[in-house]
Amino acid sequence: MFWLAMVSIALLLLTLLFPQLERRDEDRPRTLSPPYVPRRQSEQPSMPAVTIVETPKTASLPRSVQTAYWSANTRLIRILLLVWGGSVLLPTLLAAELSRIRVLTGFPLSYFLAAQGAPILFLVLAALYTAIMTRRDRQLGGRQVDPSLPVADTVLPVALVIGGGTLIVVADVVFRLPVTIIGWVLIILTIVVYASIGIRSRAQDLEAYYVAGRRIPALFNGLAISADWMSAATFISLAGTLWMLGYEGLAYIIGWTGGYVLLALLLAPYLRKFGQYTIPEFIGARYASTVARLVAAIVTVIVSFTYLTAQVSGIGLIMGRFLGVNYLFGVAIGLGAVLFCSYLGGMKAVTWTQVIQAIVIVATYLIPAALLSLRDTGVALPQIMYGAAFDVIADLESTQNIPKSYAEPFNDWSVWQFLALAFCLMCGTAGLPHILVRFYTTPSVIHARRSVSWALLFIALVYLTIPAYAAFSRWEILAHVVGQSVRSLPQWAVNWGNAGLLSITDLTTLEGETVATVPGWAKSLLESGGLQFVDANGDGRIQIEELSGRAVTPTSIDGVLQYNELKISPDLVVVSTPEIVGLPGTVAALVIAGGLAAALSTADGLLIVITSSVAIDVYQSLNRHASTRTLLAIGRVALFLAAVLAALTALRQLGIIVELVAWAFSIAAATLFPVLTLGIFWRRANRQGAIAGMITGLLAVASAIVINLLSPSTNFYGISGPATGIFGMIAALVTTVVVSLLTPPPPPATQTLIDAIRRP
């Protein structure tokens, strides 16, 4: 009855929070159009006038009150940022000492502070800032506009999910359907829901298509943000990354939750106050430059496309493994549903699909983890009980002579690599266009702030569970797979080996193979000379006694699987765990549903951002007289092309999903985050500085990506991979400041714009 209960809650919330009430005229925000700096002739065509969301009372506040409000705001931000930074730096620098202390059910204190303590503290900081600033805004006349949305917009898709989910549960109980059949039913149900939402939410104007009419309340915008955020990297790949890296993998947990504190404190309220359609639009207006806007649009497309490619990879992975279809065909089915919905309904349709998908993602991640915890510890509370796994894992590691401890800090990484990646991901989170644009969809600044807190709550529910998934999976594999006979391995190992996500390098697996049919790892050994094959009996097939070379050791030919002979892709752990531990087929189907929901919901948001950047920021900047019909048509063509190109790029399988996503964050951190933050908090930042900063950051990260592809082992001061984005961010920040100081200050019209977005 899981599906029925899950979506019934969603329907109840929709009904309670979206009453069909007409909003009074006095509750509607009025707009103020501040003077806007004229473009130089070289920057024509100019952009449309900027409108700032105001209420009559806040617009007429005395200058002294506005100054006091901003001073109090920045003082509070500094205090909260100090706590935020200290909560990351101190536990990391003291990790070696803290790891000796055990807390609760057996957690090393260093692991607990990073995996559980940090996300909870970040949630508290975001909620505290939201509460304090909401009270201050109301004292100064800020109004919380009540959105008016018809319940009918969501009744049909929710009813379809309830009905379809109930039928799946009943069919599974009565007929014990195989996972493949349940998976196909889920896919068909998903397509029907997407189609119904797309048709029901069809948008005919730019505001409805790109910002959902600015009527999405905080709770549901928070749900949509969390679904937009919890991508295939979160659902499919992150637990596997922790399985592989241990403590070092917690940099992803810290980075991808701590960024929401930056969003709440530094960006969300001011972007909503600006109240346009895209992030490049804000940059173009703040820096009074069409060129800056175009550069930001290019960066937005690059970041979003990189991120989109990772989601397409996740769709292909799940569809190919569970439904037994060709990778490209699986991608076509998944993206087809997304395209239909996004093409017709735009952001409005995407929002409703993401609201439903957020509930699906959270539930389908928590339920299997709870069942794992119940089976292994007797208590269905994985977020606390996985502490008991650390001692068991340590004993198994000792028995199996595994040299690196799972819970020990910094086995492979330096402290600086950990911190660089964490801060890079946090700043990248605050610079992601598809997350930032969601704050345009709320009816007021108060709703925008609250959206961040709601989003982080739902994200934390999953992120607090991810380390539990990793620990229980490692326990299971070390206890029941490693050390077993290669010839008696379970069927799941064969299945995932065929999918290319698992390989066993014990030489006994080569018996009976020919040189042409051996797996890739064996071919590499044969080509490098690490393994030699002499066909003594002339049958063309490998026998163990016919192998020699340095790869032939007592453990490599004993037929027993050693830990170092097992290679598992991080993309495997979550989607395979129900199968590994023998959970019912329905649970495996839940993982299918959750993984697809994660990938599809993020793909939704990314496609909308790409289309808005192409149509609004590029085409409209070059043709300011373009009609609404033309802009919608341009956006829909861009939507289709982006989806097709992402599918073709994903076929190359450029890396594990979490690494692809991390590179997207590095680009965002080094390009958009510095100019957005400086644009709000530093009046002296100007057009030349912003353009130079974004280009510098983009080139720095692009260079790091090329170096990483050509020489993956290269590092800079102990920092490598996506963490090198921190250098790009610093370079962009310094470049923006230096160039701004060396060139003329922004014009008075820009100062007026800054004042307007800073007011309550």
Beta strands in 564-629 (DSSP E): 566-568
Domains of the chain, start order: 29-36+43-114+172-478+576-758 (1.20.1730.10), 482-569 (no CATH)
As a whole number of angstroms, the distance between CA 489 and CA 497 comes to: 11
Residue 25 confidence (pLDDT):
33
List, for residues 345-379, the tens digit of each pLDDT value: 678 878 888 888 888 888 888 988 898 899 889 99
Q: How confident is the model at residue 57 (pLDDT cuts 50, 70, 90)?
A: low
pLDDT: which is higher, 88 or 653: 88
| Residue 279, both tokens | 């992030």
pLDDT in tens, 320-331: 766 777 777 877
Measured CA to CA in angstroms, residue 219 lies from 18, 37, 301 at distances of 11, 37, 28
- Mean pLDDT for 426-452 is 92
Tell me what the mean pLDDT of segment 220-231 comes to: 90
DSSP string, 147-197: P---THHHHHHHHHHHHHHHHHHHHHHHH---HHHHHHHHHHHHHHHHHHH
Give the tens place of pLDDT for each residue, 121-153. 999 999 999 999 999 888 876 555 555 554 445
Give me the residues paired with residue 31 across strands: 53
Q: Give the side-chain half-sphere CA count within 13 A for 626.
A: 23
Distance between CA atoms of residues 644 and 153, nearest Å: 29
H helix or E strand, kind and range, residue 663: helix 657-681
Mean pLDDT of 142-167: 52
Beta-bridge partners for 719: 716
What is the percent of the chain where pLDDT is above 90? 37
In this prediction, residues 688-694 reach a mean pLDDT of 97
Mean pLDDT of 19-45: 34
pLDDT at 38 over 90: no
Peptide bond into 108 cis (omega under 30): no
Query: Would you tell me how many other CB atoms lie within 10 Å of the CB of residue 581?
Result: 20
Look up residue 621 and give its two tokens. Answer: 């900047």
The alpha helices in 94-151, defined as continuous H runs, are 95-98, 109-112, 118-139
- pLDDT above 80: residue 496: no
Residue tagged 């800073």 (tokens): 758
Residues 260-287: tens digit of each pLDDT: 999 999 999 999 988 888 999 999 999 9
Q: Does 1 score more than 90 pLDDT?
A: no
CA 57 and chain centroid, separation = 38
- Which pLDDT score is estimated for 165? 56
Q: DSSP string of 669-723?
A: HHHHHHHHHHHHH-TT--HHHHHHHHHHHHHHHHHHHHHHHH-TT--BTTB-GGG
pLDDT confidence bin for 212, thresholds 50/70/90? confident
Q: What is the dihedral of CA 64, 66, 72, 75, to 10 degrees?
A: -100
Instruction: Look up residue 409 and give its two tokens.
Output: 């800090």
Backbone angles phi, psi at 52, to 5 degrees: -110, 130
Q: How many residues does the chain have?
A: 760
Distance, CA of 591 to CA of 235 (rounded, Å): 9
How far CA 233 is from CA of 140, 458, 574, 737, in Å, comes to: 42, 16, 11, 34
Q: Comparing C-alpha atoms, which of 179, 572, 256, 238 is closest to residue 423?
A: 256
